[in-house]
Amino acid sequence: DAGVIQSPRHEVTEMGQEVTLRCKPISGHDYLFWYRQTMMRGLELLIYFNNNVPIDDSGMPEDRFSAKMPNASFSTLKIQPSEPRDSAVYFCASSLFINTQYFGPGTRLTVL
Amino acid sequence: QKEVEQNSGPLSVPEGAIASLNCTYSDRVSQSFFWYRQYSGKSPELIMSIYSNGDKEDGRFTAQLNKASQYVSLLIRDSQPSDSATYLCAVNIRGKGSQGNLIFGKGTKLSVKP
C-alpha cells in the first residue's frame, strides 16, 4: 500500500509569495494531521482533521496559515503571504486510530 | 514547564550495548505514549506504543512506563549502527481540547559506534 504522499518535496519561494503544500493520506484513514518541524521548536502539531472536518487548529501560528480537506483523499496547507520564519519541514500524517500516526516524507520549505 | 522533555543528547553507545532513552511529561492524566524514530532527513516512524504501567517488549526494543513518576523510557538492546537516529517521545496530552493532540519532545539523538 502507498503511504502518505506529500508534494512538493522541496519548495523554495520568496517572502510574500503564496505557498500551497499538498497531502494524500493513506486510503481508509480517517484522521489527518499537519505538523511543522524546526530545529528550535521540534515537531509541532498545526491542525488535524477527522473525517474531513477540522478538529483542532490551535497550533496554527497565525492567520497567514490555512488548511483544508475537501475530501477524504486530499488536504492542503496554505501560507499566504509567506515569511522567512516559515522555513521548516512540513509533515502530513494520517491514522485510522487516533494515536497510530503514519507520516509522509515531508515538504522542505525555504522562504527567502 | 515543558510538556514533554527529553535529553537532546547526543547519546553515544558502542555497538552491542544497551541504549537507554528517557522522557518525562507534565500532564498527569496522559494515557498514551509513543516512541518514534527519525533518521536524518527522513520522517518520523512509530516504533513503540505503551498505554499501561510496566514494560512492553518488541524485539530489541523495550518501552517502560511509570505514570506515578510521569516517566517513559525506551531501551534498545544489542544496539546496532543502524539504530543511529533521533528518537522522539510523544504523549497524548488530555485537556488540550481534543483527543488527538500528541505532544512531541524535541528528541534524543542516538549514535551507535561500531
Cα–Cα distance measured from residue A65 to residue B66, given in angstroms and rounded to the nearest whole number: 38
Cell of A30: 480517517
Chain A residues near residue B49 by CB distance under 8 angstroms: 99-100
Per-residue pLDDT tens over the stretch B30-84: 778 999 999 999 999 999 999 889 999 999 999 999 999 999 999 999 999 999 9
Please count the residue pairs, one from chain A and one from chain B, whose beta carbons lie less than 8 angstroms apart: 50
Above 90 in pLDDT, residue A26?
yes
**Which positions ≥6 away from B28 have C-beta within 8 Å?**
B67, B70
Q: How far apart are CA B5 and CA B44, in angstroms?
A: 17
pLDDT band at A2 (very low <50, low <70, confident <90, very high): confident
Residue B101 φ then ψ, to 5° = -85, 95
CA distance A42 to chain B (A): 5
Q: State the pLDDT confidence band at B97, using cuts at 50, 70 and 90.
A: very low
Which triple of cell numbers denotes residue A98? 487516533
Dump pLDDT digits (tens) for A60-103: 988 999 999 999 999 999 999 999 999 999 999 999 876 688 99
More confident residue, B78 or B94: B78
